[in-house]
Structure 1
């Protein structure tokens, strides 16, 4: 479609409801390819199927158009939000989202055809609400910034991508990207999905960055905290972060009542 209109190289993203087919040899979580391997005189649009809820794509020497079909095997795929994070050096192609047969530009056209790599990460998030985007955004900010109640605190240690005990080393704010970063000195890593929290070779201390929304107005506080949250695009995002002594009291009280949702060794 883009090639026929004479546009510069383009990525066409389409989200289809999954579940009807089983993944085959040509289905991927991630894809890496080059336009140099394509027939130079062909005007056909190449197509790639990505079947996972997260992955990446790297298109080197982009030419014509690449149609990326996000077709996850999810029962609620029709209620899925697609999050795209272009690489910091993303160059060489425009990104379009295909909806009802129409193309909608979501990234500005690249005019310098000497730029040769277009790559991004993607995540598919399930939407349980039919509310509009403005309402969802406000709800997200409210949910991320308000303190967690006791039930949420207890669930956080069971379901979070990371759970670490530590203190706040520094807090920095990025107004351009509307986010804050909390640098944590880690005393103990209870769980982490990936190696975000690592040991510094020089000092031997365990450290790691946790991000949150700028609107939350996070400040540096003294004492030990239990940091929990989820990972998105390889970055840790803050969920519940109670003071460690407060959470310890809440957890042991719930355990005595047999109201703790999961067993967790805090010591």
Structure 2
């Protein structure tokens, strides 16, 4: 993204602070406020400090500029990626990320004369590799689309936000948002961070949606799979998804060698 000049009066400025959080700072994950409560003639920039690795911001009737300082306790990470997801009705302000004194435009408002609310979710991810952003994007696509090897699979069942045995009910594609959705009929939910997979009241069947990149060209296939992955902004994103019988072969072989990184309850 190219650097831009000074922001307009209606702007959200995001800054990722280095060196860890301020001593004694409160653990604020989210912020909600209104521009109507500010002094109309003041040109001061309101500043908000957020200390969590994920949260949200809702700024109703934006006025002037709001500077949001993200200062989570991520001192062990060499690099950090900030992910921003504007709300579908985001309007009234522009979002800029401040890096090295330069402002980079992230999202612009929709032109609308109705009630304005600039709201978004944020999520901070720790990166252990200093690779450039273009390289990381290509690596992400490659990693999400190729089958996992045995080591990645064994690691996935230990560290994923969700681990589910199930079958594919349907696959739909969203070209506008560059993603595909896999609707899963779950036979066994081994683990889930939140209630992505839930029991349908009418049928009693456990089911849930899992997303992946459109570039992966996911197709509907028969049989049982082990779906693993992580959650981002309350959505499940697919990681390793081998056929269940293949997973069983890999896990039992690793267990016999004592090479399994964690115990996995199969029953």
Number of residues of Structure 1 aligned to a counterpart in Structure 2: 262
Q: Does the 8 Å contact 2:184/2:210 carry over to 1?
A: yes
Moved more, 71-80 or 51-60: 71-80
Alignment partner of 1:170 is 2:170: yes
Q: Normalising by the residue count of structure 1, what TM-score does the alignment of the two structures yield?
A: 0.92
Moved more, 121-130 or 101-110: 101-110
Q: Does the 8 Å contact 1:18/1:77 carry over to 2?
A: no
Query: Which residue of 2 is the match for residue 224 of structure 1?
Result: 224
Gaps of 5+ in 1: none
Alignment RMSD (CA, Å)? 1.7
Moved more, 255-264 or 94-103: 94-103
Gaps of 5+ in 2: 1-5
5 Å matches for 1:28-43?
Answer: 28-43=28-43
Aligned partners of 1:124, 1:199: CA distance in 2, in Å?
A: 31
Aligned partners of 1:22, 1:199: CA distance in 2, in Å?
A: 44
Aligned partners of 1:93, 1:258: CA distance in 2, in Å?
A: 56
Find the residue that maps to 2:226 and give its secondary structure.
strand
Query: Which residue of 2 is the match for residue 96 of structure 1?
Result: 96
Find the residue that maps to 1:106 and give its secondary structure.
strand
Query: Which residue of 2 is the match for residue 182 of structure 1?
Result: 182
Query: Which residue of 1 is the match for residue 13 of structure 2?
Result: 12
Give the 3 Å change call, closer, same or farther, for CA 20–124 of structure 1 in structure 2.
closer
Aligned partners of 1:251, 1:236: CA distance in 2, in Å?
A: 23
Query: Which residue of 1 is the match for residue 212 of structure 2?
Result: 212
* Deviation sequence 1:190-232 (CA, Å, 0-9, x none): 1000111011111111110000111111111101111000001
Give the 3 Å change call, closer, same or farther, for CA 78–243 of structure 1 in structure 2.
closer
Q: Does the 8 Å contact 2:148/2:240 carry over to 1?
A: yes
5 Å matches for 1:103-114?
Answer: 103-112=103-112, 114=114
Q: Normalising by the residue count of structure 2, what TM-score does the alignment of the two structures yield?
A: 0.92
5 Å matches for 1:196-207?
Answer: 196-207=196-207
Give the 3 Å change call, closer, same or farther, for CA 90–109 of structure 1 in structure 2.
closer
Alignment partner of 1:125 is 2:130: no
Distance apart, 1:104 and its partner CA:
2.3
Moved more, 109-118 or 138-147: 109-118
Give the 3 Å change call, closer, same or farther, for CA 255–78 of structure 1 in structure 2.
closer
Query: Which residue of 1 is the match for residue 71 of structure 2?
Result: 71
Find the residue that maps to 1:151 and give its secondary structure.
helix
Query: Which residue of 1 is the match for residue 134 of structure 2?
Result: 134
Runs of 4+ aligned residues of structure 1 deviating over 3 Å after TM superposition are: 109-115
Aligned partners of 1:235, 1:16: CA distance in 2, in Å?
A: 27
Q: Does the 8 Å contact 2:164/2:226 carry over to 1?
A: yes
Moved more, 135-144 or 229-238: 135-144
Distance apart, 1:129 and its partner CA:
2.1
Q: Does the 8 Å contact 2:167/2:184 carry over to 1?
A: yes
Give the 3 Å change call, closer, same or farther, for CA 163–247 of structure 1 in structure 2.
same
Q: Does the 8 Å contact 1:92/1:113 carry over to 2?
A: no
Query: Which residue of 1 is the match for residue 241 of structure 2?
Result: 241
